[in-house]
Amino acid sequence: MYPLKFQPLLTPFVWGGQKIAPYKGIESKEKNIGESWELSGVEGLVSVVANGPLAEKTITELVKTYKGQLVGEHVYAATGDEFPLLFKFIDALRDLSIQVHPNDALAAQLHPGSRGKTEMWYVIDAEPGAKLYSGLTKSITPEQLATMAADGTITDVLACYDVKPGDVFFLPAGRIHAICSGCFIAEIQQTSDLTYRIYDYGRMGLDGKPRQLHISQAQQAVDYKVYDNYRTEYEPVPDEEVELVSCPYFTTSVLDLTLPYAKDLSELDSFLTVMCLSGNGTLEVDGEEISIGQGETVLIPADADDVCFIPVERMKLLISHL
């Protein structure tokens, strides 16, 4: 197989801005675009191939057809015909809701057939004063969670971080969090769209009605432990692969390249997904070249033996596999 690009799924939200389309170099008449789903196997929002002879095929169709050849034998054995990860760009013009996601066990209990949602954020850009919430600063009970959600004081017990480009946050299922205004983020997560809103500032949705809250589900989902630091610390190193997050659901590294960088994929037994955060260049996969530029995402199938990342101008990439 050869590397694949996909048609982005642009999704409007009440908190969305207008940065995504220009960032990706595409035209859109949509307003309030909050998210661009780059590669998704979520039912109802499944990505469609944009290049080559497989154009117009969905990622789900490809997984069913090519199985381990596309995603990796061990990946297919674990996740079957569902593509296991979801990749997004997120533009927050306004604060997102305070929310939490269930783990696999709770998702299966409350939503049979569904998976939980562990995710990570990479801050691509941040306006002056931009912040986000991740985790608790003090221990609370489920009853206190409900009370603080009702009276709007829930943010008083959340860790608040000023953010800058390059910041990384790992969000295991159960961690309360929210992206706030002025953040432009790349998000990598399990294939799941399960979100429990805890607090939404009393605002109306795009339909003019209050957005639904999910307090009882959130009470069950929240990890009530308090940790010292919720930011992922790492040391950037130009022209080297720097691992950011490694968990049971994905491993993600950053590449900040001014020089070509080769990676052996022959023993990986997984697809490799490449998100271009800035710059442009080419990917040479088993001798075949495909271009990649800012805002583009490329899927390298598991049967590839090697890839060389070749920057034309300085190129920053997130690369992920299972």
Look at phi and psi of residue 143 and say left if phi exceeds 0, alpha if psi is from -120 to 50, else beta. alpha
* pLDDT above 90 for 205: no
The confidence band for 295, taking pLDDT boundaries of 50, 70 and 90, is: very high
Q: Of the listed 94, 115, 197, 231, which one is catalytic?
A: 197
Provide the token pair at 155.
């943010």
Q: What is the CATH number of domain 4-232?
A: 2.60.120.10
What are the phi and psi torsion angles at 294 (to 5°)? -50, 130
pLDDT at residue number 160: 98
pLDDT surpasses 90 at 204:
no
Report the mean per-residue pLDDT for the chain: 96
Q: Give the C-alpha separation, 244 to 100, whole Å.
A: 22
**Residue 206 banded pLDDT, cuts 50, 70, 90:** confident
Please report, for the chain, the start and end positions of each structural domain, with discontinuous segments joined by +: 4-232, 241-321
In CATH terms, 241-321 corresponds, of 2.60.120.10, 3.50.50.60, 2.40.50.140, 3.40.50.300, to: 2.60.120.10
Give the separation between CA 56 and CA 271, rounded to whole angstroms: 20
Non-local (6+) Cβ contacts of 68 within 8 A are 74, 75, 76, 77, 269, 302
Whole-model pTM: value is: 0.96
- State how far the alpha carbon of 84 is from the alpha carbons of 89, 189, 191, in Å: 17, 9, 5
Position 27 pLDDT exceeds 90: no
The share of the chain scoring above pLDDT 90, in percent, equals 94
- Contact at 8 Å (CB) between 187 and 90? yes
Phi, psi at 77, each rounded to 5°: -65, -30
Report whether pLDDT(178) > 90.
yes
Residue 221 clears pLDDT 90, i.e. is over it: yes
Same fold, 4-232 and 241-321: yes
197 is catalytic: yes
Return the closest-CA partner of residue 127 out of 185, 177, 184, 186: 184
pLDDT of residue 21: 94
pLDDT in tens, 84-113: 999 999 999 999 999 999 999 999 999 999
How far apart CA 97 and CA 134 sit, in angstroms, is 12
